Amino acid sequence: MTDHTQNTADGSKSAVDAVVSCEMWEKAAEMCAEDVAFFYMENGAPKLCLIMNDTFHYASADAEVVEWPDLFNVYALWKQHDIAGLIGWVAERRGCEPLPGACS
């Protein structure tokens, strides 16, 4: 049986938020290769972030974490609507509008 726990920063064990399938990794890697997302580690767990620089605020470095259970929906929006789909998803989550021209 696979151990779905991981060591946290303090050395204790915690359950992984979600079991991440190979298909999820492939979709996330594709988004990173196309420069719309990046990975970072938080307490030993990989997180996927959408790049939202200069989208909601001028001259800003900004990103939105995508929880693994949301990945398939976010990926589908990106494939159907390109960056505008991702911006729309983030705008809905944040309850705010992007800057004028951000989707073009």
Tokens of 6: 């991981």
Residue 99 lies inside a defined structural domain of this protein: no
Structurally, how many domains does the chain consist of?
A: 1
Determine the structural domain holding residue 52 and report its residue range: 18-94
Rg of the chain over Cα atoms, rounded to whole angstroms, equals: 15
More confident residue, 85 or 20: 85
Instruction: Please say whether the beta carbons of 49 and 41 come within 8 A.
Output: no
Angle at 42 between CA 26 and CA 89, to 5 degrees: 55
Residue 2 lies inside a defined structural domain of this protein: no
Instruction: Please say whether the beta carbons of 49 and 65 come within 8 A.
Output: yes
Split at pLDDT 50, 70, 90, the class of 101 is confident
pTM listed for this prediction: 0.79
